[in-house]
């Protein structure tokens, strides 16, 4: 084995090395019974992160508006609680937030139904804690989704 091959396998990670040896992991979402592409397919990390930034930016904008009106003392103090409340309300009623809608995403249960209010409450709390959201499985599904049995799909 060439040193370059050994270094490449270390950098690429175990999945790429296993695929080179003939293992077939399938596409993202196949284990969950989701289609490979189109509506209902597992949302990619780029879209999910983009939607999260849009939602966070909008909540920061609203928090800043509250500060400028004299309603709140600090925009930074209100951004996360405001994000939590807005996200819970929108996900519980429509299954999507403004950012998710712009990126064509929706949060659903694994069976395709609408996420319940307890699922949305816990999912959003874990998302606000950040760590569960940045730990992904092989389908790029965060721990916050795995903990409550939801998945973010394309619409």
In a domain, 8, yes or no: no
In a domain, 39, yes or no: yes
pLDDT at 138: 82
In a domain, 48, yes or no: yes
Percentage of residues in the chain having pLDDT higher than 90: 52
Q: Which residues form the domain of 74?
A: 27-154
Q: At 130, is the secondary structure helix, strand, or coil?
A: coil
Question: How does pLDDT run across 87-113, given as a tens digit for each residue?
Answer: 999 999 999 999 999 999 999 999 999
For the chain, how many structural domains are there in total?
1
pLDDT at 64: 85
- Residues composing the chain: 155
In a domain, 20, yes or no: no
pLDDT confidence bin for 24, thresholds 50/70/90: low
> Is the C-alpha dihedral spanning 9, 14, 18, 20 positive or negative?
negative
Helix (H) or strand (E) holding 151: strand 150-154
**pLDDT surpassing 70 at residue 48:** yes
In a domain, 6, yes or no: no
**pLDDT surpassing 80 at residue 134:** yes
What mean pLDDT is predicted for residues 41-61? 93
In a domain, 128, yes or no: yes
Helix (H) or strand (E) holding 105: strand 105-109
Q: Say how far apart CA 24 and CA 84 lie, in whole Å.
A: 39
In a domain, 92, yes or no: yes
pTM, two decimal places: 0.79
pLDDT at 69: 74
In a domain, 19, yes or no: no
- Strand pairing category for 105-109 and 150-154: antiparallel
Name the least confident of 22-26, 115-119, 120-124.
22-26
């Amino acid at each position: 084995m060439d040193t370059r091959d050994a270094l490449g396998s270390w950098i690429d990670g175990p999945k790429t090395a296993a695929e080179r040896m003939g293992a077939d992991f399938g596409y993202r979402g196949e284990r969950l019974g989701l289609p490979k592409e189109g509506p209902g397919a597992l949302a990619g990390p780029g879209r999910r992160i983009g939607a999260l930034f849009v939602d966070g930016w909008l909540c920061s904008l609203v928090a800043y508006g509250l500060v400028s009106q004299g309603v709140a003392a600090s925009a930074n103090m209100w951004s996360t609680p405001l994000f939590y409340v807005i996200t819970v309300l929108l996900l519980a009623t429509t299954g999507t937030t403004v950012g998710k809608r712009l990126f064509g995403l929706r949060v659903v249960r694994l069976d395709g139904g609408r996420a319940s209010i307890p699922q949305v409450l816990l999912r959003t709390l874990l998302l606000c804690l950040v760590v569960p959201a940045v730990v992904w499985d092989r389908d790029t599904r965060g721990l916050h989704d795995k903990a409550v049995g939801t998945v973010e799909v394309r619409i």
